[in-house]
A and B are shown apart, each in its own frame.
Chain A
Amino acid sequence: MSTIVSLPDQATARIPKRNYLSNENGLLSWLLTGDHKRIAILYLISITFFFAIGGTLAGLIRLELLTPQSDLFAADTYNKIFTMHGVIMVFLFLVPSVPATIGNFVIPIMVGAKDLAFPKINLLSWYLYLAGGAMTLWAMISGGVDTGWTFTTPLSTHFSNTNVVTTGLAIFVAGFSSIFTGLNFIVTIHRMRAPGMTWFKLPLFVWSNYAGSILMVLGTPVLAITLVLVVLERTIGIGVFDPAKGGDPILFQHLFWFYSHPAVYIMILPGMGVISEVVSTFSRKRVFGYTAVAFSSVAIAVFGFFVWAHHMFIMGVSNYAVLVFSLLTMLVAVPSAIKIFNWAFTLYKGSITFETPMLYAFGFMGLFTIGGLTGVFLGSSGTDIHLTETYFIVAHFHFVMVGGMLMAFLSGIHFWWPKMTGRMYPEKISQLAAVVTFIGFNFTFFPQFLLGMLGMPRRYAAYPPEFQVLNVFSTAGASILGIGYLLPILYLIWSLKYGKIAGNNPWQATGLEWQIQSPPLTENFVEIPIVTQEAYDYEWLERQKEHEVTHVG
């Protein structure tokens, strides 16, 4: 198998003495840092922690569903477990995953800046994340919450005796962390670009994060006020969502999904950016239809705000609303398809190599396509009424979120790991992990499509015995998937000490972040670059190398 990896001579290569990791030492230098790269690392550690908790809860869910009876947990304990799984995975893992770790690390470098526009707000955003996370954990330990991550009223306002208020406020706080990240990105991309770095020279990762940030900034405040109203309704008894007082619970649904539908694009758009970078690098070609891919990100962000009511087709919205929202939902499939087709065309006649990030990217493209197309099933009201609130919907959004986003996150982490740490991850075992993840994922979630078609409802601890075979498949798959996620955690930690020295540009990639040392200096660039080349200009990179040879040699 051919490879494009070019590492420096391991006998003589050294990690540069001066870099952002060695610049300052001690715990305080991390806790009070303004450096976007260090904050990215802090985020990486914290989201991995919460992912481990969320993943363990997922394991418990699958274990309970191994048998038709509710035998491992009481039914209400099961409710608390899937609620916590959802809350932690959505708000504390998926939303911050790519933007707050990879985005935080590479966006300023990609645009040619020394840092994000507001370093202190960036740090504040991490502390808010931690505060939100701590409150969530506190809610979990002190009795849990059982409403599902959707906080459906009037269950959440009147009938649930669990920690809705603490969890709601936790999400409120974590939401501000996400608003500040988005705000920082938008301002940085607008105002901090290096000379010559025009909008259409930006890497597509920047474009997709920009689109995601717009959603964070415009959507999250709506979730914040919705949760405030729920909390006020529980605590002092205002009546905005209370039908007994004249309020309307459906209004809660509208406000909640006005954020929470765009939120799935907050989660997936940055992941799509990773895929653009990876597919281009490992096919040695400029992304096909660069402008179309860039605008499709923005289109997803814009359309994303006009489809929320497709979560409510069975909740008593009018037939005309269903018709309109159904059509608008189909519209989102267009920019998503533009991306998938353009990545496929990028591969066409490219010099493809199969390093780990590329394997994950292939996984993303396949699984996201399935997830996206089943989304069209759910967007058409006829099939939605049959399929909604069944395991079909669970399978659909796990294909998009886990098969799509998590694959993209792992792809990105492997891709930029040499830049973040200066060392390579071990290639063979990580390729194995990528394959194990893919197989485990399909075993876990494909049977759930079938279960949903057969009518197994979501959110119950028990189910009729005829569904058991498929559930056993799913649980077995989840065990494989668990191993697939455990492996990277282990070998990436291993590689911090024993990995090969990566050098500046192990992938021969074109982004500005690959033209500086790994790990980068605290101020990123010795000299602010002046950008003349297009994004993904591999010929420019070749000329650069010739230039170096003629000058050094």
Chain B
Amino acid sequence: MSDSQAVATTVDAGHAGGHAAHPPYQRHHFVSMEQQNETTNFGMWLFLLTEIMFFGGMFTAYLIYRNWYYPAFVAASHTLNIIEGTANTGVLITSSFTMALGVWCAETKRRKGLVWSLIATFILGLVFLGIKADEYHEKWVLHHVPGTYFSAQAFVHPTAEDGKPAEKPLAPDMAAHTEVYFSLYFAMTGMHALHMIIGIGILSFMLFRATRGAYMDGNIAFVENFGLYWHFVDIIWIFLFPLLYLISRYS
């Protein structure tokens, strides 16, 4: 009858041999390191999927309102600081590169390389937030922050500045809809910035551990998965930048 006896054989060699048979960072409920790594990776990808749905709500709203209020979106988009936006895109892509470098250093057990890559990523992340803050400040000065302080006057009576010709004036009701654009601008970039801040928080924790020699024993799931998160936040920006900054800019 032994063939029908299901609950019989053991594959749990790890516990039979105590902790000697598997690395100390293997959690007790996994059979092998391979299973543990696959599981955490899969979990991270699934989490990123939830993040796509989270941002997806705002992208949907953007799609609808851009179709409805296209002239307002074009005019409002042109008031964004294209130089700072482009610079930020460069900064973020570079930070993704340094992060990827960090993961590679962890894989190949280069402690110094890992620490310096993480420091570079950390600094680039802060630079991004700094530039973003400057842009927000500019919007505040221009009365483009939605709420009681908002004013759409500049879109009804545009003025020429710095040798650029004046924008085409908008009808007052269309000009008022620039507030929808700026609502989405602040909601989307704000949520993105919040993800950056959380990321920098986790990054500094990781950096602290890396300086003490962590991640050199082959247990790099944390670095890898954080890398995935960081790249994801980067990709969100890659979508935000053209959608918010580049609407009909050079046509």
Residues of A whose CB lies within 8 Å of any CB of B are: 113-115, 117-119, 121, 179, 183-184, 186-187, 190-192, 195-196, 217-222, 224-226, 228-229, 232, 236-240, 245-248, 251, 254-255, 512, 515, 523, 525, 527-533, 540, 543-544, 546-547, 550
Contacts and interface: CB of A to CB of B under 8 A. Distances in A.
A246 B180 contact: yes
B5 interface: yes
A245 B177 contact: yes
B22 to A, nearest CB: 14
Given A187-B42, A238-B146, A543-B1, A523 B28 contact: yes
8 contacts: A184-B43, A187-B42, A191-B35, A224-B54, A240-B65, A245-B176, A527-B10, A529-B8
A192 B179 contact: no
B23 interface: no
Nearest to B145: A236
Interface string B24-57: 0001110100010011101100110111011111
B147 A237 contact: yes
Interface in B150-208: 150, 176-177, 179-180, 182-184, 186-187, 191
B50 A183 contact: yes
Contacts of A183: 43, 46-47, 50
A114 B1 contact: no
Given A190-B42, A238-B147, A527 B57 contact: no
B123 interface: no
B9 interface: yes
A220 B50 contact: yes
B1 A547 contact: yes
Contact of B5 (A192, A217, A544): A544
Given A118-B43, A195-B11, A246 B146 contact: no
A174 to B, nearest CB: 15
B142 interface: no
A217 B46 contact: yes
A527 B49 contact: no
The B contact surface, by secondary structure, is helix
Given A229-B187, A239-B183, A246-B180, A114 B53 contact: no
A515 B55 CA distance: 45
B69 interface: yes
B4 A527 contact: no
B235 interface: no
A254 B61 CA distance: 10
A225 B54 contact: yes
B29 to A, nearest CB: 4
B64 interface: yes
Given A192-B35, A527-B8, A543-B1, 9 more contacts: A179-B50, A186-B46, A191-B38, A195-B11, A218-B49, A221-B57, A240-B183, A240-B187, A247-B183
B179 A239 contact: yes
Nearest to A533: B6
B60 interface: yes
B141 interface: no
Contacts of B46: 183, 186-187, 217
A246 B9 contact: no
Which residue, of B3, B12, B182, has the highest number of chain A Cβ atoms within 10 A?
B12
A279 to B, nearest CB: 23
Interface residues of B, number: 54
A114 B31 CA distance: 9
B57 A222 contact: yes
Given A245-B180, A245-B183, A240 B7 contact: no
B240 interface: no
B251 interface: no
Contacts of A115: 29
A525 B1 CA distance: 22
A251 B64 contact: yes
Contacts of A246: 65, 68-69, 72, 176-177, 179-180
A281 to B, nearest CB: 18
Nearest to B194: A228
For the complex of A and B, 8 pairs with smallest distance between CB atoms: A237-B147, A238-B183, A246-B177, A221-B54, A225-B57, A114-B29, A221-B53, A115-B29
A531 B6 contact: yes
Nearest to A113: B29
A87 to B, nearest CB: 20
A540 B56 CA distance: 48
Contacts of B49: 217-218
Contacts of B11: 195, 528, 530
Nearest to A188: B39
Given A222-B56, A532-B4, A546-B1, A240 B61 contact: yes
B58 interface: yes
Contacts of A226: 57
A531 B5 CA distance: 9
Nearest to A216: B50
A238 B183 CA distance: 5
B146 A236 contact: yes
B65 A191 contact: no
A529 B6 contact: yes
Contacts of B43: 117-118, 121, 183-184, 187
A529 B38 contact: no
Contacts of B187: 228-229, 232, 238, 240
A95 to B, nearest CB: 15
B208 to A, nearest CB: 20
A524 to B, nearest CB: 9
Interface string B68-88: 110010000000000000000
